[in-house]
Amino acid sequence: MIDIKLIRENEELVKENIKKKFQDEKLPLVDEVKELDVKVRDVQVKADNLKAEKNRKSSEIGKLMAQGKKEEAEAIKSEIANMGDEIKSLEEEQVKLNARIKEIMMVIPQIMDPSVPIGEDDTKNVEVQRFGEAVVPKYEVPHHADIIARFNGLDKDSAGRTSGEGFYYLIGDIARLHEAMLAYARDYMIDNGFTYAIPPFMIHSDVVTGVMSFPEMEAMMYKIEGEDLYLIGTSEHSMIGKFKDQIIKKEDLPINMTSYSPCFRKEGGSHGLEERGLYRVHQFEKQEMIVICEPEDSMDWYEKMWKLTVDLFRSWDVPVRQLECCSGDLADLKVKSCDVEAWSPRQQKFFEVGSCSTLGDAQARRLGIRAKGENGTYYLHTLNNTVVATPRGLIAVLENNYQEDGSVKIPKVLQPYMGGKTVIEPIK
């Protein structure tokens, strides 16, 4: 959510930003906000003037009564009562106007960073750089579901009976490898100076609307029936929400934390061959990172954060690339975003395993996350990035460490988390 001052002072910048995001249908909203803003300030002036007049007249009543001018005093009392009704009406109008302004401001997109490439959709995202050699082995790499089947590591049939489509059981060495990746990611982030946390897995609706846009919320979130609670789609939601309505001491900045959680998303259904396995599911686990920092430091943190994910996957012998998200693929709250994509030797292409974003002051403005400076309080900047989300991360490790005999090498850094195993062998 942008500052309304930006519309007052530079509406053309706001409109140009909307055009670059290919959301021309939102252009009239800028004009509507500007008109409503004028109205609400006019109403405020009228209400303030009436209150001042009411106070002035109220002070006259005692003098008139002392002078025995009871009829004049009663007339002023009646006039004051009418003023009170008018003030109440103006205040109610002001509430309605402000509610409409907020409703519109929640859908006007955040101003993008000038470096964001312009494009209509994700087909226009731009590859920035690659890390590691994207190798295609001489032998065939099976679908990840078939690799896992050789270890008796996946049971979707039973999950279908207990929970439905989009859920799964991981079994044996595959389940252990899955958890080894998460445990290593946790320690990796702690070693890089992040504070570890396990957050709530459900949040209130005001936190949901504080951290994400309405289209994202509708597409992702599971609502708990009969309660003001939603299952989180990522721990960023509850981690940023942790600081709702807080004024953070400058000496405590930056706040950089890493969190573990299960994640719940509506996505799923029939999306082609990849739905046979674990690529798109309703429930997964994730190690996340968030940063709350001074506005001038946010772009530096953005660069540090996505590189941490790159280095993590490279330690697992997985080639990756950084893909810059274009304007049309950028969520409305984001200033700049990039995906980290892992190499799939089976498909001979990259696929998304993480996303890093800086949201400027959008989430902070919605949630009231501020710091106090010399000139008063101001909104901080928030960032988030995927450390690793499984099972997508698991797919990348399995494919890139798959051997011709059907076994899977355990990346060296994960071996201590696997009881010293260097390889997992298919069950014969």
What is the distance of C-alpha 381 from the center of its chain?
Answer: 13
d(Cα 247, Cα 425) in Å, to the nearest integer? 53
d(Cα 339, Cα 354) in Å, to the nearest integer? 6
Over the stretch 87-131, which tens digit does the pLDDT of each residue have?
999 999 999 999 999 999 999 999 999 999 999 999 999 999 999
pLDDT band at 70 (very low <50, low <70, confident <90, very high): confident
Write down all domains in the chain, each with its CATH number in brackets: 4-105 (1.10.287.40), 122-424 (3.30.930.10)
d(Cα 151, Cα 142) in Å, to the nearest integer? 13
Over the stretch 229-285, which tens digit does the pLDDT of each residue have?
999 999 999 999 999 999 999 999 999 999 999 999 987 444 443 567 898 899 999
d(Cα 264, Cα 280) in Å, to the nearest integer? 11
With contact defined as beta carbons under 8 Å apart, do 400 and 393 qualify? no
For 325, the token pair is 């998200």
pLDDT band at 55 (very low <50, low <70, confident <90, very high): confident
With contact defined as beta carbons under 8 Å apart, do 298 and 358 qualify? yes
For 170, the token pair is 């991981």
What phi and psi, each to the nearest 5 degrees, are found at residue 230? Answer: -125, 145
Residue 248 Ramachandran class (φ > 0 left, ψ -120 to 50 alpha, else beta)? beta
Over the stretch 168-213, which tens digit does the pLDDT of each residue have?
999 999 999 999 999 999 999 999 999 999 999 999 999 999 998 7
